[in-house]
Amino acid sequence: MSRLVVVSNRVTPISGSRAATAGGLTVGVLAALRETGGIWFGWSGETVETGMPIPKVFRTGNITYITIDLLQADFERYYGGFANRTLWPLFHYRLDLASFDRDWYVSYRRVNQLFAEQLYPYLRDDDLVWVHDYHLIPLGEELRQLGIKGRIGFFLHIPFPSTEVYVALPWHDRLMEALSHYDLVGLQTSNDLRNFHDYLYREGVGYGLADGLVRAFGRTLRAQDFPIGIDTEDFARMATSTEAVRASQRLSRSLLGRKLIIGVDRLDYTKGITERLRAYETLLQNYPRQRTQVTLVQISAPSREEVPEYLEMRRQVEAASGRINGLFGEFDWMPLRYINRGFTRRTLSGFFRLSRIGLVTPLRDGMNLVAKEYIAAQSEEDPGVLVLSRFAGAADELDGALIVNPYDIEAVAEAMHRGLIMPLDERQDRWRRLLAQIQERDIVHWRQNFVDALAQEIDPTN
């Protein structure tokens, strides 16, 4: 069997507290790699002022980690600039927040070249190389230039935007051409895949073939949707662990019998947190009977605090929280608890299980693993209701949720209310359907499908 070599911007070893608050990519990759073992290559999270980075190699369990440091200047331009202030907002349809800077792009290409050069000596001919996410789109092309002929696949964790939005990127054609060097391009949903095809067709640089293949820039590759899943059984087990039960009992005692609504996200403008708070305010406004009967716990882990747009959104969320508590709070009831830090996954799973409603209302999201974790954590006797944005990739699969348009504040408030009064048998019916979906399409299913497709030969005559 071929060895799996995973490459992502950031490498987060399993052990210790860092994994406890890891984002979606880390959670997914780690769960996928744990089973097969292999290499995980990427940035260490450290920066240096000068000098040539030297890879550090260490092994934990069946995974060999190889990490490199970044030059401070590259960190600022490649990561803080091109990845987080160009590609991230653009791919999430936030043209208004996207900045375009040639120096950032040059640095992005340079870091990808550096990654390729540093990875090269570790590669064997029959390795399956699996590159992750928007930070590393040109990596496949760089590896090819070094002479790597083996299978290289790419998975995009965030949405692939519609052509109209994507072409605003001054280097849209260069990145698309870079993608054509992979044997396999994986996207989260059929909508992303449609957008990918649409670009090739409208820009006259390619077209679809039979069996999931595409011809692009004179090369033939496979492009397919692979909706990422979670380790469903593992997360369900976590929710009944001692740590989860202790945390949820403590939270439950503080609620004094009130129903819990929960939101958990990285503090990111794509997650729709300010809109969600406005919807909660509308719930309290339009359904006065719910006042003093519910508590919203919004847990937002700090994220990318070096980016100014994130600081601005943090201020907005803080202002909205203060306003809601000031407006509706009683001396013996605060409607909202806003917590600006991460919790361990076990603790979160306990909170999910306790809550009547899980609010997952991003304005745009590649998939959203929190939605799936929320379902996995529920108990059959008293399951909660998932209120899910139609703009999360997860909405494609999870039709048992209450699907909402997060921009429609009144409608989100109505969905919350519906969840609060929903009879037990309807909650159970919906939850069983949702659970079956995330059990069938779990993380193993995702990894296996991707790796099988990557290993599949492409008929050159096609």
Catalytic residues: 157, 365
Q: Is 186 helix (H, G, I), strand (E, B) or coil?
A: strand
> CA 216, 221, 224, 229: dihedral to nearest 10 degrees?
-130
Contact flag: residue 12 with ligand ADQ (CB under 6 A): no
Structure tokens at 196: 């990918």
Contact flag: residue 366 with ligand ADQ (CB under 6 A): yes
Contact flag: residue 136 with ligand ADQ (CB under 6 A): no
Structure tokens at 382: 């008293």
Decide whether 109 or 271 has the Cβ nearer to ligand ADQ.
Answer: 271
What is the rounded end-to-end Cα distance, in angstroms, of the chain?
Answer: 26
Q: Which amino acid appears at position 59 of this protein? A: R
Q: From the CB of residue 440, how many other CB atoms can be counted at a distance below 10 Å?
A: 11
Nearest CA-CA partner of 400 in 439, 352, 349, 346: 439
Which of 108-116, 140-148, 260-268, 454-462 is the region at the interface with ligand ADQ (rule: CB under 6 A)?
260-268
Q: Is 11 helix (H, G, I), strand (E, B) or coil?
A: coil
From residue 231, alpha-carbon distances to 35, 238, 254 in Å are 11, 11, 30
Which of 102-110, 364-372, 425-433, 440-448 is the region at the interface with ligand ADQ (rule: CB under 6 A)?
364-372
Single out the residue of 228, 239, 398, 435 in contact with ligand ADQ (rule: CB under 6 A). Answer: 228
Contact flag: residue 273 with ligand ADQ (CB under 6 A): no
At its nearest, how many Å lie between ligand ADQ and the CB of residue 281?
22
Contact flag: residue 25 with ligand ADQ (CB under 6 A): yes
CA distance 339 to 296: 11
Contact flag: residue 238 with ligand ADQ (CB under 6 A): no
Contact flag: residue 365 with ligand ADQ (CB under 6 A): yes
Report angle CA 169, 174, 179 to the nearest 5 degrees.
110
Contact flag: residue 158 with ligand ADQ (CB under 6 A): yes
Single out the residue of 265, 275, 281, 309 in contact with ligand ADQ (rule: CB under 6 A). Answer: 265
Enumerate residues 6+ apart whose C-beta is below 8 A from 143: 116, 119, 120, 123, 129, 152
Contact flag: residue 48 with ligand ADQ (CB under 6 A): no
CA distance 453 to 193: 15
Single out the residue of 6, 348, 386, 401 in contact with ligand ADQ (rule: CB under 6 A). Answer: 348
At its nearest, how many Å lie between ligand ADQ and the CB of residue 49?
29
Contact flag: residue 33 with ligand ADQ (CB under 6 A): no
Single out the residue of 343, 403, 408, 455 in contact with ligand ADQ (rule: CB under 6 A). Answer: 343
Decide whether 53 or 350 has the Cβ nearer to ligand ADQ.
Answer: 350
CA distance 280 to 263: 11
At its nearest, how many Å lie between ligand ADQ and the CB of residue 27?
4
Which of 24-32, 239-247, 320-328, 436-444 is the region at the interface with ligand ADQ (rule: CB under 6 A)?
24-32
Contact flag: residue 161 with ligand ADQ (CB under 6 A): no
Single out the residue of 39, 277, 370, 453 in contact with ligand ADQ (rule: CB under 6 A). Answer: 370
Query: Which residue, judged by CB position, is nearest to ligand ADQ in the bound state?
Result: 24
Which of 49-57, 70-78, 177-185, 342-350 is the region at the interface with ligand ADQ (rule: CB under 6 A)?
342-350
Contact flag: residue 397 with ligand ADQ (CB under 6 A): no
Single out the residue of 186, 206, 272, 342 in contact with ligand ADQ (rule: CB under 6 A). Answer: 342
Single out the residue of 184, 307, 367, 398 in contact with ligand ADQ (rule: CB under 6 A). Answer: 367
Calculate the CA 300 to chain-centre distance. Answer: 14
Decide whether 91 or 105 has the Cβ nearer to ligand ADQ.
Answer: 91
CA distance 430 to 16: 36
Beta bridge partners of 386: 358
CA distance 252 to 240: 15
Angle, to 10 degrees, between the axis of helix 443-455 and the axis of helix 24-36? Answer: 70
Site string for ligand ADQ, 166-205 (x = CB under 6 A): ----------------------------------------
For the chain, the C-alpha Rg in angstroms (whole number) is: 22
Q: From the CB of residue 427, how many other CB atoms can be counted at a distance below 10 Å?
A: 18
DSSP run (H or E) holding 377: helix 369-377
From residue 320, alpha-carbon distances to 262, 271, 325 in Å are 16, 15, 9
Chain residues in the site for ligand ADQ (CB under 6 A): 21, 23-25, 27-28, 157-158, 228, 264-266, 299, 301, 342-343, 345, 348, 365-370, 373
